[in-house]
Structure 1
Amino acid sequence: MIFLNKIALKPYKIRSLKKQHQNRTSSIEIIKARDVWGQTNKGQGVVVAIIDTGVDTTHPDLAGKIIGGYNFTSEDGGNKDIYTDYNGHGTHVAGIIAAENNEMGVLGVAPNCKLLILKILNRFGEGSYNGLISALQYIKRWQGQNGEKVQVINLSLGGPTHKDELYTVIKELHTLGIVIVSAAGNEGDGLSTTDEISFPGFYKETLSIGSINQQLAPSIFSDSHLNIDFVAPGEGILSTHLNGEYVELNGTSMATPHVSGATALALRLIKSCTPPLIPAQIKYYFTKHALKLDFPISLVGNGLIQLK
């Protein structure tokens, strides 16, 4: 997870760097994504916006996934049409959501969905609340060439301060029926009795996502508070990285895109309803199917995301 308005000392840890890797789908299996691919066409028709460090647009697992993008940073001379990732964080997040099944690399949770890339964080993982607010406002206006609209927003970032302007646009997007999935944060101490809070993940209009390890126990670093909604795999997650490579990373930043991808699939499983009810309907679906974990709700919320 990368912080706004300050440098994250350890937003994630690189465990290993791989140029190629056979399909590794353990985290996909944990949330039972593959079980619903046949019913959901793997997220076909859903647009997920990723607000992050940009994306490696030439990565073979991602090149066909990008429907558009915008650069809100000063990198590349501030050219709005160049949203290249020089950090790797956004590329890793993108792969977890939508990496293409090309038999060579990794598989995303919803490999047929499309990605709108909104770059607000620079190569050092630094950004501002104003940049985040601008990107969220952009989503309200954005429309694809064929009338596509954003249905899911992934926010693998956060900051320590509540901002009225940020909360206002979060509520507006929620009312429009857009599901906002946000990282809980990586400042946890492993204790359920202490609260670690970051925004926008603390807002109830978002799905606040914590991390679990391979043993389905809460990650030591995962923030705890009573607004945690769900947990997802966030340790040793292999995904796309810069220069066509792959890395394993840890963090609630990695857990969050599992849920964004799961949301792209779940949108194809729920009954249609008026837009303001869609976020509540998605939360109800996940709550109904979640695997209950024997840990305090301040650490795991309603449990581990399951699609079936």
Structure 2
Amino acid sequence: MEHKVHVIPHTVIQQEESVKEVPKGVELIQAPKIWSETKGKGMKVAVLDTGCDVNHPDLKDRIIGGRNFTDDDRSNPEIYTDYNGHGTHVAGTIAAQENDAGVIGVAPEADLLIVKVLNRNGSGQYAWIIKGIHYAIEQNADIISMSLGGPVDVPELHAAIKTAIRKNILVVCAAGNEGDGDDSTDEFAYPGCYNEVVSIGAINLERNSSRFTNSHNEVDCVAPGEGILSTYLNGKYATLSGTSMAAPHVSGALALIKVYANQQFGRKLSEPELYAQLIRRTVPLGNSPKLEGNGLVYLTVPEHLAGIFAENVKAAVLSAT
């Protein structure tokens, strides 16, 4: 029996023809407060998902290319259209552009590389995911975002992720939606529970842990994952819930952090250093570490810490590795 990977289960709450707002999740992680410093320009985020609505007005100018590895459209590699909606929603949270309409993503000037590894049913073969990761590596992606998972630990998938990490690519994964609200039980979804990835759990907009979010010792941090408004099919918008919605908040946040940190240090930081920069921008919410890891991603750095920014990074890297 062939094992498959699927989109992390999610709930579509509602669809809308048009909106004009900064999504509440983007505001909750404090992204707008650092847009004066950077909006992610120059960062390339590979979105491994169901494809994307490439003509969506909030996304079309952010998409720089892509590849289809699925059986949709007779496996034509040049057609990475989204027929599901999941990938378009994820892409919008990462980098929907600022255009005085619709929504705006966490890193509205970052580039999107659309890597279609799940078909119209939200299902994909492990081979498709592995090929997609290697494609993202070949395209020199800065960040790989994966809101997908399966129950099986596949060594080849793990090896592909390790290769990306060695290339200093940050790999962000949704933790999974099999949680039961009890941190004494562990729920595992791969690749979200690999130690090498940045595993993201979900909270609601009131900063409470989402009942569905997986709990285990590899959760690194949490982000908004309930009632998340973003781009959807046919130029529309939708509100969805799931750890699938939490992970792209962190992918976008890392695009901002990487630009800012590289500028501050005058060099390109390694993957462990960038991970440390993410973790120092988290705030504990009082939940079990199995549910929230280091806490909520919170991008603003208090002024009283700005002067010791460089001094802290070495200690943070040591603790993260």
Task: Give the TM-score band, short-chain normalised.
Answer: over 0.9
Q: 1:241 & 1:55 partners in 2: Cα distance?
A: 9
Per the alignment, residue 257 of structure 2 pairs with 266
1:4-43 pair list within 5 angstroms: 5=4, 11-40=9-38, 42-43=39-40
Q: 1:240 aligns with which of 231, 236, 240?
A: 231
1:73-152 pair list within 5 angstroms: 73-142=70-139, 149-152=140-143
Per the alignment, residue 146 of structure 1 pairs with none
Give the match's secondary structure for 1:77. helix
Q: 1:67 aligns with which of 64, 71, 76?
A: 64
**Are residues 1:284 and 2:276 paired?**
yes
Q: 1:22 & 1:274 partners in 2: Cα distance?
A: 37
Q: 2:136 & 2:278 partners in 1: Cα distance?
A: 24
Q: 2:45 aligns with which of 42, 45, 48?
A: 48
Q: 1:67 & 1:24 partners in 2: Cα distance?
A: 23
**Which structure features the higher share of strand residues?**
2
Contact 2:162 2:196 in 1 (8 A): yes
Could you list the per-position Cα deviations for residues 234-278 of structure 1 after superposition, in whole angstroms to 9, with x for gaps in the alignment?
000000000110000000000000000000000012145887x62
Q: 1:178 & 1:278 partners in 2: Cα distance?
A: 9
2:247 corresponds to which letter in structure 1? T
Could you list the per-position Cα deviations for residues 90-114 of structure 1 after superposition, in whole angstroms to 9, with x for gaps in the alignment?
0000000011111220010000000
Structure-2-length-normalised TM-score: 0.89
Give the match's secondary structure for 2:223. strand
Q: 1:141 & 1:126 partners in 2: Cα distance?
A: 24
Per the alignment, residue 170 of structure 1 pairs with 161
Counterparts in 2 of 1:19 and 1:38: CA distance versus 1, 3 Å: same
- Structure 2 unaligned residues grouped into runs of 5+: 301-321
Shift in Å at residue 289 of structure 1?
Answer: 2.1
Q: 1:163 & 1:289 partners in 2: Cα distance?
A: 32
Per the alignment, residue 313 of structure 2 pairs with none
Structure-1-length-normalised TM-score: 0.93
Give the match's secondary structure for 1:118. strand
Contact 1:270 1:281 in 2 (8 A): no
Could you list the per-position Cα deviations for residues 52-93 of structure 1 after superposition, in whole angstroms to 9, with x for gaps in the alignment?
000001111001011110000111111110000000000000
Shift in Å at residue 286 of structure 1?
Answer: 2.0
Could you list the per-position Cα deviations for residues 115-153 of structure 1 after superposition, in whole angstroms to 9, with x for gaps in the alignment?
0001011111010111100111112222xxxxxx21000
Could you list the per-position Cα deviations for residues 154-207 of structure 1 after superposition, in whole angstroms to 9, with x for gaps in the alignment?
000011111111111111110110000000000000011000001111111110
Q: Identity rate of aligned residues, in percent?
A: 46
Could you list the per-position Cα deviations for residues 8-67 of structure 1 after superposition, in whole angstroms to 9, with x for gaps in the alignment?
6x8211111100012133211211111111111x00000000000000011110010111
Give the match's secondary structure for 2:37. helix
Give the match's secondary structure for 2:296. coil
Shift in Å at residue 7 of structure 1?
Answer: 5.9
Counterparts in 2 of 1:274 and 1:202: CA distance versus 1, 3 Å: farther
Give the match's secondary structure for 1:20. coil
Give the match's secondary structure for 1:270. helix
Give the match's secondary structure for 1:180. strand
Per the alignment, residue 290 of structure 2 pairs with 298
Give the match's secondary structure for 1:254. helix
1:81 corresponds to which letter in structure 2? E
Give the match's secondary structure for 2:128. helix
Counterparts in 2 of 1:5 and 1:304: CA distance versus 1, 3 Å: same
2:215 corresponds to which letter in structure 1? S
1:156 corresponds to which letter in structure 2? S
| RMSD, matched Cα | 1.5
1:26 corresponds to which letter in structure 2? K
Give the match's secondary structure for 1:92. helix
Per the alignment, residue 191 of structure 1 pairs with 182
Number of equivalent positions: 296
